[in-house]
Structure 1
Amino acid sequence: MLTDPLLPLWLKLAYSAFMLVLVPVYWRAYGWTNFLYFCDVALILTWVGLWTEHPLPISIAAVGILVAQAFWLLDFSAHLLGRRLTGMTDYMFDSRQSRFLRGLSLFHGWLPLLLLALVLRMGYDPRALPLWIAIATVLLLVSYRWLPGPPPRDDRRPVNINYVHGLSDEAPQTWMHPHLWLAVTLIGFPVVLYLPAHVLLLGLAGP
């Protein structure tokens, strides 16, 4: 017996159209390593979740980026009001950057809102927390071991992916030994970013 879909077809098609533009454009502009950013992984997980209508990939994406992208939204909103908070979204207001690429990057603002709406609609799968921690750990270790750190390259390849070399893309952090900083990200990100999102989503949507 057929059942009504949880999610509207127009949403699936609109999201797919966006992804079919973003993926080749980003690949050409930044290279494949750009898709190792947490936010880009969340984009792909959301795409899977929309079509499968399974709460697990949506929950994994939400627990992984909700808190971090809330900071992005806050910093972007402050920029619009003529204020500068952290510099996280400075690139969105850099006239030297392509307007088209900056327009695509607006997904950092609407994706967490979409994920929150999807979790409220579909429910939250608590398995998302350990699964995202495992995914993030692998991404951090790969980014640290094999991908370039700051300063930026001339070819626009991403550097300092997922902040494994510090909070700035201009120069590596000097507060502590690089290995210690990596340990801070491996332990600190789950505590500061993922666990609060997990508690929030459980409270809002339940399992």
Structure 2
Amino acid sequence: MIPLWLKLLTTLGTAAIVVIYWHRYGPGNLLWFCDLSLILLVPAVWLESSLLTSLAALLVLLPLLAWTLLLGIRLLTGWREAGLLDYMFESERPWLLRLLSLFHIPLAALLLYLLGQLGYDERALPLAALSVGLVLPLTRWLTPPERNVNWVHGIGGEGTRQQSLPAWGYLLCLVLIAIALIHLPSHWLLFRLF
């Protein structure tokens, strides 16, 4: 059902991104949900797994579409949205790393294609909630605060720190927000479309 060339391209592209990001940023950077979903798609395409594809889509499809839209708006108008995409325009960051970050765009397209081919598996919803509940505390524990991977130290880009809540309270809020604003709307939409 999934063409061999797409399986190979997904595998090789993911391997390249993982190796380059690991070398440049360290393994903790791969805890970003977009990176985890990209990695998850390797077994998803080889196994042609609707469940793994659906899980990846629940975790990141809406944020990927928002990222792509915000990048397009910024490129066309110069409007700077809350600094979330500043890293894409930092001249001190090597152009190859910025170019690699464009994987967000084909990742969204790949997720939509795979959902069209394999269908949406509603069992992914509790797995997505469980994933967020595990990954966010792990991210806070394993990554440096200045990287702010998955915004576990504050909503925003690198260096952002929230001071209003204790760490556990902030992480709990982040988990609940992810479920309420990303997973549930994605589940509702994907269940109806696929």
TM-score by length of structure 2 reads 0.93
Unaligned runs of 5+ in 2: none
Identify, as 1 or 2, the structure richer in helix.
Answer: 2
The correspondence for 1:24, drawn from 19, 25, 30, is 19
The correspondence for 1:190, drawn from 160, 179, 191, is 179
Does 1:171 find its partner at 2:160? yes
**Structure 2: how far apart are the matches of 1:13 and 1:192?**
33
Conserved in 2, the CA contact under 8 Å of 1:75 and 1:86?
no
Residue 121 of structure 1 deviates from its aligned partner by 1.4
Greater Rg, structure 1 or structure 2?
A: 1
Which residue of 2 is the match for residue 109 of structure 1? 105
Q: Which amino acid aligns with 2:64?
A: Q
Unaligned runs of 5+ in 1: 1-5, 151-158
Conserved in 2, the CA contact under 8 Å of 1:126 and 1:198?
yes
**Structure 2: how far apart are the matches of 1:60 and 1:41?**
11
Which residue of 1 is the match for residue 61 of structure 2? 66
- C-alpha RMSD of the superposition: 1.4
Conserved in 1, the CA contact under 8 Å of 2:153 and 2:161?
yes
Conserved in 2, the CA contact under 8 Å of 1:75 and 1:88?
no
Which residue of 1 is the match for residue 41 of structure 2? 46
Query: What are the superposed Cα offsets for residues 128-161 of structure 1, whole Å, 9 maximum, x if unpaired?
Result: 11111111111111122343213xxxxxxxx222
Does 1:162 find its partner at 2:158? no
Number of aligned residue pairs: give it.
192
**Structure 1: how far apart are the matches of 2:14 and 2:176?**
31
Conserved in 1, the CA contact under 8 Å of 2:50 and 2:121?
yes
TM-score by length of structure 1 reads 0.87
Residue 74 of structure 1 deviates from its aligned partner by 1.7
Q: Which amino acid aligns with 2:103?
A: F
Q: Which amino acid aligns with 1:74?
A: L
